Chains A and B, each alone.
Chain A
Amino acid sequence: MFDWLYVLMKKLVENVFGLSLDTGIGDSVHFFFYDSVKIIILLGFMIFTISYIRSYFSPEKTKEYISKFNGISKNVMASFLGIVTPFCSCSSVPLFIGFVEGGIPLGVTFSFLITSPIVNEAAFAILWASFGWKIAVLYVVMGVVLGVVGGIIIDKRKLEKYVEEYVYEMQMNRPDIEELTFKDRINFAKSNTLEIIGRVWKYVLVGIAIGAAIHGWAPEAALTKYAGPGNPLAVLAATIIAVPLYSNALGTIPIAEALLMKGVGLGTAMAFMMATTALSFPEMVLLRKVIKPKLIANFVAITAIGIVFIGYMFNGIAHLVI
């Protein structure tokens, strides 16, 4: 889809900068310009489209939709709605209370809370730009599966007593929030797009620059040996390293792309990305206000184990999708 851009940037590097793509520096410069333009185009397009869709799914409506389902389909619905409902970790507490107060089971609430941060429009756009749409879609599917399975496990473990008591006593008022017009939705999508790009472009460019350097220079043999699909500990290490990186997650994708071309396992790169978004310290601190440490520990452990598992699976099937 971006062949034209590849050729255009090749011309730029060869004719304007006078560098050959066969040299390390020429290869790096080409990677930087090609990737930057491609990612910015896809980011703008994807965030705008998804934000527009999101304007139809307020958390209040999401809560209503979920209540209409039963059993496991409730978890599946919650995970899917987690993709389209606007969410940021600062909203996790009011959202949690709203769900529980509305009679939505704890496991279903966690299905939503696990999938929602993992599957976000910016990660999807960059994955698409870096790895192609098949991997981006697989990432979404895995995010949903993780949410559904994680929620079901939390439900089976009967952890309701580890929710702070006051949450169950809370009474909510029903505000009458006005229906948006078409113009409101376009405006919402536009301001959301500008806001997200304004926030992440620095990390993405730094990520692309590091990726470009790796692309031109990193020793392939050493990387394949230590972080390739053949090393079983790589996925585990990637998950652990990822957790403190939270908001810089998006910048790590172009790095992952460059590493992948150098022989690092796809599952390793994928586990790294999922862990950066799914598990963050700021969110844990906020959630502590509504749930007790034991439940937080369950949430973290189930999500982390799930991510490691997905990582191994991707390493196993990578050759089928790339």
Chain B
Amino acid sequence: MKLKILGMGCAKCSKVESNVKDAVKELGLDATVEKVEDVKEIMSFGVMATPALVIDGKVAFAGKTATTKEIKSMLEIASK
């Protein structure tokens, strides 16, 4: 599973990054987590609000500080 966190380095984006890492660890998933800060790449996903999470090329959420719990349920759905 490939995870991308889109954000230009604000506090909320780092919060989401650590929540995603926690979620991956707690679920024991085999996933790569990458942080995307380049605005062109962020825009290529079509999101207009950050932080956003991309799971295997699909935007899972945009513009909210999702909790570890919320991210876990998204990852569980995506990994099925």
Q: How far is the CA of A150 from the CA of B36 in the complex (A)?
A: 33
- Contacting residues, chain A, for B40 (C-beta < 8 A): 166, 170
Assess whether A175 is in contact with B46, with CB atoms less than 8 Å apart.
Answer: yes
By beta carbon, the residue of chain A nearest B62 is A177
- Distance between A228 CB and nearest chain B CB, rounded to angstroms: 38
Q: Which B residues are CB-close (under 8 A) to A289?
A: 8, 39
| Residues of B close to A192: CB separation below 8 A | 64
Residues of A within 8 Å of B44, CB to CB, are 172-173
Of A82-90, A204-212, A307-315, which binds chain B?
A82-90
Q: How many A-B residue pairs have CB under 8 A?
A: 79
Within 111-170 of A, Cβ neighbours of B (below 8 Å) are at 166, 170
Closest-CB distance, B6 to chain A (whole angstroms): 8
Q: Name B34-50 residues within 8 Å CB distance of A.
A: 39-40, 42-50
- Quick check: is A286 within 8 A (CB to CB) of the other chain? yes
CB A36 to nearest CB in B, in angstroms, measures 25
**B12 engages A90 (CB within 8 Å):** yes
A195 vs B46: C-alpha distance when bound (angstroms): 26
Residues A98 and B12 in contact, CB atoms below 8 Å apart:
no
Q: Does B48 contact A95, Cβ atoms closer than 8 Å?
A: yes
Question: Interface readout for B17-52 with A: 1 if CB under 8 Å, 0 if not?
Answer: 000000000000000000000011011111111110
Q: How far is the CA of A188 from the CA of B62 in the complex (A)?
A: 12
Contact indicator A90/B7 (Cβ below 8 Å): yes
A91 within 8 A of B: yes
Please report the C-alpha to C-alpha distance between residue A267 and residue B56 in the assembled complex, in whole angstroms: 52
CB distance from B15 to the nearest CB of A (A): 9
Tell me if A94 is interfacial: C-beta within 8 Å of chain B. yes
Could you say which residues of chain B place their CB within 8 Å of the CB of A174? 46
Complex contact B39–A290 (CB within 8 A): yes
